Structure 1
Amino acid sequence: MNEEIKEFRISVLLFMQRALLDAVTPGLRGVSVGIGLKKITALFIYEATPTLDELELISFSETQIVADFDESVSISFDIKVIPASKDRIISIGNEWVYLRHERTPNL
């Protein structure tokens, strides 16, 4: 990994953590981020359909990330609903920036 990509990755991870401050609600199971050359994708995983307040928090987080980078960086935030009874999934190459603790069932 070259230095420019490494520095971009570190910036994205730190800015995402800052954007999530005061945006994590009880229904949020996890947030993953994909980082490419001049591209950021974030996936917010909820256990149920997000409320209007939660959608506003996501929008505010996205606005903060957009403000951190110039317009040459493509940024997209998506939402996926995965009930707590199902495993959380992450795309290959993505990284977790937030992951809620969930008790594993006794086997």
Structure 2
Amino acid sequence: MKNNHEYLKRLKLSMQSALLGAITQNMRNIAVDIVDDKIMLYFFIDGEVRRDDEENISIVETEVIADFEDNFDIETIIKRLDYPEPIILKQGCSVFLRKEN
């Protein structure tokens, strides 16, 4: 298995493609990480998480996991975090950050 740094670079590129057309106005931040053999996706949503949000995120998950070998699992965390509450990432790195005043 490659080291996590190489996989993290691949994950960032995969997310760049998967997020095309999938980002909605209420998405404040999207972050990724790799922990052991698990791809972690974090979505921070402003306001109520709608069914459309969940469907878009599911499509992103599918596109990302298709770019990796079978030895990876994927876990997605969707958190409601209303503006102006600060976004504090405890792990991972942002691949999308909404401009906020």
What TM-score comes out, normalization by structure 1 length? 0.86
Sequence identity of aligned pairs in percent?
A: 32
- Matching residue's letter, 1:58: I
Q: For the aligned residues, what is the CA RMSD?
A: 1.3
User: SS at the partner of 2:3?
Assistant: helix
Shift >4 Å, 4+ stretches:
none
Unpaired segments of 5 or more residues in structure 2? Answer: none
Equivalents in 2 of 1:55, 1:4: separation in Å? 31
Partner of 1:11: 10
Unpaired segments of 5 or more residues in structure 1? Answer: none
Task: Find 2:98's aligned residue among 86, 97, 100.
Answer: 100
Partner of 1:90: 89
Give the number of aligned pairs.
Answer: 100
What TM-score comes out, normalization by structure 2 length? 0.90
Q: Computing the radius of gyration over CA atoms, which structure comes out larger, 1 or 2?
A: 1
Write out aligned runs for 1:61-100 (5 A): 61-92=60-91, 94-100=92-98
